[in-house]
Amino acid sequence: MQQRTENPVAMLSGPTAAGAWSLLTGGQDCVAPHAGRDPSREAAAAAVEILPGLGEAVRATEKFVARALRRALEQVGVRQVVHIGPGFPPPGGRPCTHHLVHAHAPQVRVVYVDSDPAVLACLRERCGRDAEAVSVVEADLRRPAELLAASGVDLGQPVAVVLANVLTFLPLEAAVPVMQDLIAPLALGSHVIVAEPMAGLLDEPVQAALNAMAARGAPAAYARTRPQMLELLAGLVLLEPGVYPVSFCLQDPLAPVPMVPVLGGVGWRGWDGWSP
């Protein structure tokens, strides 16, 4: 591992999911070139060649997460947020999750959880020093019980869990039990915010774009249909409007709505037939 200079990210020999996805939205300093190549940039470029709107889809997902978090904070009073698989901090001055949260409720505890060493280093450098209420934890989504324990959140109190374009790296047969184990210990009133690349939207070749990234060494990723998203959120009360493209979810009905190939949904840990 290269000694850190101004950039806290270690030199990598292959593309990473976090590096490629960051580059889709203009990230410049997330992954260092290796042996004259920039593998994450190559993976991102291959995806954009097939689906030019991927960068806008990532930005729309950020807006969806921001709206969903604001709803959890203001309408329900959630005071703990766990962002699983956040990837590198957004480029271009766009706010990190804790900036969004603390703009509405400065006392809320925000925990970033990731398993990528480069992401963890970057998050600690750029996000973890902003406030005492922010922490960065290494844990693996595939082991939900260990992840929740490492996060240090109080499972006796409601928590907002963010999973934006991270379950996509698990096949559905693995992602569903992971979600069940993640949801089961959460307190009543908890919110689970999920966004995933969408399969079948206007015949957009989303899976082909994800496959192009994987063909260049990035981790395999899977686009989801709406029924598959409902499987991931099983056991939760879906908040309106349910599972839809993120540009529609929690959107001002009078605002223009661009179509993006990402599905989003917010599940509430509560009683059937009642939602906040």
pLDDT at 2 over 50: no
pLDDT at 28 over 60: no
Mean pLDDT of the chain: 83
Model pLDDT, residue 13: 39
Q: What is the mean pLDDT of residues 222-230?
A: 95
Alpha-carbon span 115 to 133, nearest angstrom = 21
pLDDT at 4 over 60: no
Model pLDDT, residue 11: 32
Q: Give the domain ranges of the chain.
A: 54-204+223-268
**112 confidence band (pLDDT: 50, 70, 90):** very high
Model pLDDT, residue 274: 56
Structure-token pair, residue 201: 């939207």
Whether 258 and 201 have beta carbons less than 8 Å apart is answered as: no
pLDDT in tens, 70-107: 999 988 899 999 999 998 888 777 888 999 999 999 99
**256 confidence band (pLDDT: 50, 70, 90):** low
Alpha-carbon span 246 to 265, nearest angstrom = 8
Burial class (CB in 10 A: 0-12, 13-18, 19+), 254: exposed
**Which of 2-16, 27-41, 250-264 comes out lowest in average pLDDT?**
2-16
Multiple choice CATH, 54-204+223-268, 3.20.20.100, 3.40.50.150, 3.40.605.10, 3.90.550.10:
3.40.50.150
Give the residue among 222, 229, 227 at the shortest CA–CA distance from 264: 229
**33 confidence band (pLDDT: 50, 70, 90):** very low
**35 confidence band (pLDDT: 50, 70, 90):** very low
Chain centroid, CA 5 distance in Å = 28
Model pLDDT, residue 156: 95
Whether 153 and 161 have beta carbons less than 8 Å apart is answered as: no
pLDDT in tens, 181-198: 999 999 999 999 999 999
- Pairwise pLDDT comparison (62 vs 91), residue with the higher score: 62
pLDDT at 162 over 90: yes
pLDDT at 248 over 70: yes
**142 confidence band (pLDDT: 50, 70, 90):** very high
Model pLDDT, residue 260: 83
Chain centroid, CA 28 distance in Å = 19
Model pLDDT, residue 18: 79
Whether 246 and 63 have beta carbons less than 8 Å apart is answered as: yes
Residue 26's identity, in one-letter code, is G
pLDDT at 251 over 60: no
